[in-house]
Amino acid sequence: MVAPALLPAAASADGGAPWLLYRDADPFVAASGLPFAPPSAAPDAWRVEFVASASNAELAFDRGSEHLLYDGEFHEARLALTRAFGERWIARATIGEVSFGDGFLDGFIEDWHRTFGLDNGDRGHLAGDGHVIAYDDGGGNHIALDRRLHAATPLLVDLAWRLPAGAHEWQLGATLKLPTTHASPLVDDRAVDASLWLAAQSTDATTRLPWGVRAGAMRRGDTELLPNRANDLVPFADASLGVVLRPGWDVAAQLQWHGALYDSAIPLLNDAATLTLSSAWHAKGGWTLRAGLVEDAIAKHAQDVTIFLSLTL
């Protein structure tokens, strides 16, 4: 998913990094309060972002007593509202609607693998019905989602203090996650999570290489999702780099990493890194359309693939 920037010539209209409104879409992670990339907006301005995404995975694991089957696709529509208060403070709220089912990406992914001679892994070999997530460790930790589902995502609220420093700025921020639904712990784990983070990003509106970096840690509350295996403290880090190809058109990459949310031998429940690649068209009317693709940078530690389309006003 994406948080695109608006280019008047070579960088975003608010001079910020090309942060993408994305985080690991693995439901065992997305149900928590792991923050999205830092908020961005011009002083005393509003920023509105709408993102539609589809995330698909077909994976099976057996590690000792632990067993996990994940075969399905999550679709999400997310709205993010950002407000900058002068040059020093910025706040953002983001919430979405998510659905789980068979999806449409299986054929596309398999064709992609065949085209480039890649291994299809577990695809086509699992006994699931196309929309099932099931975990069991034989010791009382059990989770299952074997039905189609529509529900609201958790509400995430960011607040950051900004310090201008020439052609870049620092942000010292906090993120709070608030539960919204009891539909499934794989959509909202019902914990109240809090994160602290430090970020730096370019603010030079003329640069052709806008950038951003961030590091922080999330303190987890009382989760209903594998509570006996949940880790209390989860570190995370992000880096973003854009390239302005011409006025009104850019490409951007974002690498995100987070530590393990669970004490588990299963890769999908461990630390993970994702790579997001996107391209944006910035209209003269002041809106931006961005599309992109997300892959797991460490195989089988995140969902197989996510595609997204976003609109920023």
Mean pLDDT of the chain: 88
Contact (Cβ atoms closer than 8 angstroms) between residue 244 and residue 13: no
CB-hemisphere CA count at 13 Å for 281?
A: 5
The dihedrals phi and psi of 256, each to the nearest 5 degrees, come to -125, 140
Pull the structure tokens for residue 64. 């000792």
pLDDT-derived band at 105, boundaries 50, 70, 90: confident
pLDDT-derived band at 6, boundaries 50, 70, 90: very low
Q: What is the pLDDT of residues 127-161, one digit of tens each?
A: 555 689 999 999 888 999 999 999 999 999 999 99
Radius of gyration of the chain (CA): 19
Mean pLDDT of the 236-252 span: 94
**Residue 89, C-beta contacts closer than 8 angstroms, at least 6 positions apart:** 159, 160, 161, 162
Q: Report angle CA 154, 50, 197 to the nearest 5 degrees.
A: 55
Residues 227 and 69: their CA atoms lie apart, in Å, by: 19
